[in-house]
Amino acid sequence: MEEFNTISVVGLGYIGLPTAAAFAARKKSVIGVDVNAHAVDTINRGEIHIVEPELDMLVHAAVSQGNLRATTTPEPADAFLIAVPTPFSEGHKPDLAYVEAASRAIAPVLKKGDLVVLESTSPVGATAKMSEWMAEMRPDLSFPQQLGEASDIRVAHCPERVLPGHVIRELVENDRVIGGMTQRCGETARDLYRVFVQGDCILTDARTAEMCKLTENSFRDVNIAFANELSLICDRLDINVWELIKLSNRHPRVDILQPGPGVGGHCIAVDPWFIVDSAPEQARLIRTARTVNDGKPHWVIERVERAAKRFKEPIIACLGLAFKANIDDLRESPAVEIATKLGESFPGQVVAVEPNIRTLPTGQHSSVRLCDLQTALAEADVVVVLVDHKQFKQIDPVRLQAKVVIDTRGLFARS
């Protein structure tokens, strides 16, 4: 079994920082690397720059005990985990610029025997591409695409599969799919993850591991699209979709998800496009599901605009901006898209309540005002429920009686 005395995690966001903390909690020496100097400084104070339950305690303990420190410049280590964003560019094309930058950044500090694992959810072939980028930078070292099992550097892909809000528990308990560029690469990566993973670590090749994560998120996207499309149909037919789903789910082999204002986050809203891009003629259902879910925010906006016409100068309150409940992550959030578009249509008349952030992102949403829940409920003529945060579940329905409520989460509409 391989020994890893020092582990470097490149990218200290919603996945990288919890992963770094998990290794540090097992008394490994962990070096976190991020281009964001504010994030680095915050972590080195033993604090966190994101919202995730239990993470603050883990990071504080790890930094205090000297097992975790952050830097903006890569340093030598025995294993490197790359956990940087993989967005898509125009035309829904995968954008691997961050992966390439991270690969080239760590290349100068690699040494014989090191392991490099790509954790970022990526299109099929990205791990091999990462290895090629590193090989370009280090012709003095051999990589798996050159010498196979005899290579100096071992390369693998191990996608995360955690639920925001439950990341710390799921990092430890969930099974991990590990795809090595060779068998030895996979076995070395498995040794690394067994440092803290209690679930099974299952070996496969890198391309299958890449496709596995994309498949998991596409499965979710297709099922959410069914629920969202059902909500459109029920609205047309004047049927309570939440009651309908509740009744349908009493069938022993039916498990319909809950509809919402769209699909957000850096996984489900993005990853299916990687499959569509790689096999456009075959991925017809996956593409259609993306189209359905991407279209749902526009449907919500139209409903709000129709409701707003009842008032001379309506105040519209958008409850929630995160892409799911009880987190602060705004990435690809349909709630953000809806609030922003409404702000453009009704300048100065849109307020947003997001209890997990203090300020709106700089340079964005200038026509939307962030406020607290009580102020929003007092001022609003139209209330749009976009996220089912725990704070919103405590709202007394009596406070909404004189308002037009558009409830995309079914907080007040479920029977």
Active site residues: 213, 267
From the list 159, 125, 131, the residue with the least C-alpha distance to 143 is 131
Separation in Å, CA 26 to CA 9, 190, 387, 412: 15, 16, 36, 44
Which residue blocks in 252-401 are alpha helix, DSSP H?
271-278, 284-308, 334-345, 373-379, 390-393
Q: Are 104 and 79 in contact (CB under 8 A)?
A: no
Strand partners, 30: 7, 68
Could you tell me the end-to-end alpha-carbon distance of the chain, in angstroms, rounded to an integer?
55
Residue 81 one-letter amino acid: L
From the list 86, 98, 97, 70, the residue with the least C-alpha distance to 9 is 70
Q: Cα separation of 81 and 20, whole Å?
A: 9
Encode 21-42: b = buried (16+ Cβ within 10 Å), e = exposed: bbbbbeebbbbbbbbeeebbeb
Encode 338-372: b = buried (16+ Cβ within 10 Å), e = exposed: bbbbbbeebeebbbbbbbbeeebeeeebebbbbbe
Q: Are 59 and 21 in contact (CB under 8 A)?
A: yes
Between CA 59 and CA 106, with CA 57 as vertex, the angle to 5 degrees is 15
Tokens of 31: 């070096």
Q: Cα separation of 288 and 291, whole Å?
A: 5
Q: What is the DSSP string of 29-65?
A: EEEEE-S-HHHHHHHHTT--SS--TTHHHHHHHHHHT
Strand partners, 22: none
- Secondary structure (3-state) at 209: helix
Q: Are 81 and 66 in contact (CB under 8 A)?
A: no
Residue 230 one-letter amino acid: L
Which residue blocks in 238-333 are alpha helix, DSSP H?
241-248, 271-278, 284-308
